Amino acid sequence: MLKSHTCGELRRDHIGQTVTLAGWVHRRRDHGGLIFLDLRDRFGLTQIVFDPARAADAHAVASLARPEFVLRAIGAVQARPSGQENSDLATGAIEVVIARAEILNESKTAPFPIDVEENVDESVRLKYRFLDLRHARIQRNLLLRHRAIKFIRDYLDARGFVEIETPILIKSTPEGARDYVVPSRVHPGKFFALPQSPQQLKQLLMVAGFERYYQIARCFRDEDLRADRQPEFTQLDLEMAFVEQEDILNLIEDCFSELVKTVTPHKRARAPFPRLTYAQAMVRYGSDKPDVRFGMELIEVSDLVVASSFQVFSGAIKNGGQVKGICVPRCAEYTRKQIDELTDMAKAKGARGLATIALTSDGIKSPIAKFFSDAETRALIARLNAAPGDLILFVADQSSIVANALAPFNDPASGQQHKAFLRFR
């Protein structure tokens, strides 16, 4: 091995030992005599020190080294001087005084810094993907994915599941999107399809008697990009036989609760998971895939406005419709133009318009306030649990149109959510 330890491994227990490290130069600091390098590999950083009085040849190597050079260095572990420890590093209590060093590979100046996170144009990042992958954030994400998949495999294996790889080149079958197709060389004019999911294949396995199957499956769908979709993705795919709905719900809930607890101990998944029927989800959020993190529910106020002089509300109710509202925190200062944008969103979903009440610092601002008494207005505000600074949006129509018009304001996955809402999310 070209190294005896990783760059994230050394601690006080290693003081006095001679070690060999290899990695990339992360940072370089030349103090006019001593040269300090932070050496990096995927396990972490270690500060290495070059003293010309101790090892002139090694110091000469360090003089040539620049960020992203690949270096191999041999030296003794010692404690950092008192007061110079770095509590942000796992190896921050020690440093390595280098006796010998060699440059394994030189590097040109990188097109963007590796040692800090900066907003770099995505096309540049993709062009130099091998450099982008060196960023600590990217490496953390990939390692997190590795640990999550490993946990899933161990978890399902312990519960009798069998991991079975299914074919990628298959016959096209009816699915929810278009297939990607691959031309066959040996059968001109005919094509294989890439699977959108292993749906029929896993059902085949159930019929064959495997009972519990899973795989970390690669899936392909030839469809336009959306906020929650992409043409190529990975999913946990599983199938169970001789089970009931509760068995499946409990398995998935326990799997992901334990995954979060094991892989990211500093985080917690709320358990048990809240459960909503389809009807409850549509009534409370207007969507069968609601974002429940922010409590922005659709609140019905039909009983409060059925006798009001505002014909848009009372007329909709008399025609068998309803009136619902949603409270948007800290958006009371929206301009007329912003309100018009929200109204256009609602109209695009079938609503005739959008009524608003803004609880501004100067009081209630609303084009519909004149149709309600002070008591009725206070009742509407109380029903929506609105506070000063909030904006209330109302839609009056048939229940399906009301749900369709208000749901996008609380559903980021729809791609319709108003950009200004990001201020409070």
> In the prediction, which pLDDT does 414 show?
45
244 C-beta neighbours (distance < 10 Å), count: 8
Expressed in percent and rounded to 5, the helix, strand and coil fractions of the chain are 30, 25, 45
pTM, to two decimals? 0.81
- Residue-wise pLDDT tens digits, 192-216: 999 999 989 999 999 999 999 999 9
> In the prediction, which pLDDT does 420 show?
46
> In the prediction, which pLDDT does 424 show?
41
- Residue-wise pLDDT tens digits, 266-277: 998 888 998 999
Q: Which residues contact 48 (CB under 8 A, 6 or more apart)?
A: 21, 36, 37, 38, 39, 73, 75, 95, 96, 97, 98
Backbone angles phi, psi at 31, to 5 degrees: -95, 20
- Residue listed under structure tokens 């149109």: 401
Task: Identify which of 85, 105, 99, 95 has the alpha carbon closest to the alpha carbon of residue 38.
Answer: 95
CB 321 within 8 A of CB 382: no
Tokens of 217: 């499956």
N-to-C CA span, the chain = 49
> In the prediction, which pLDDT does 127 show?
97
Tokens of 26: 């992360």
What the chain holds in terms of domains, given with CATH numbers, is 12-105 (2.40.50.140), 140-263 (3.30.930.10), 280-423 (3.30.1360.30)
Alpha-carbon radius of gyration of the chain: 30
d(CA 74, CA 221): 51
Q: pLDDT tens digits, the chain, 425 residues: what are they?
A: 999 999 999 999 999 999 999 999 999 999 989 999 999 999 999 999 999 999 999 999 999 999 999 999 999 999 999 999 999 999 999 999 999 999 999 999 999 999 988 889 999 999 999 999 999 999 999 999 999 999 999 999 999 999 999 999 999 888 778 999 999 999 999 999 999 999 899 999 999 999 999 999 999 999 888 777 789 999 999 999 999 999 999 999 999 999 999 999 999 888 899 899 999 999 999 888 888 877 789 999 999 999 999 999 999 999 999 999 999 999 999 999 999 999 999 999 999 999 999 999 889 999 999 999 999 999 999 999 999 999 999 999 999 999 999 988 765 444 444 444 544 44
> In the prediction, which pLDDT does 422 show?
46
Q: Which one-letter DSSP state was computed for residue 274?
A: P
> In the prediction, which pLDDT does 409 show?
78
d(CA 202, CA 220): 16
Peptide bond into 272 cis (omega under 30): yes
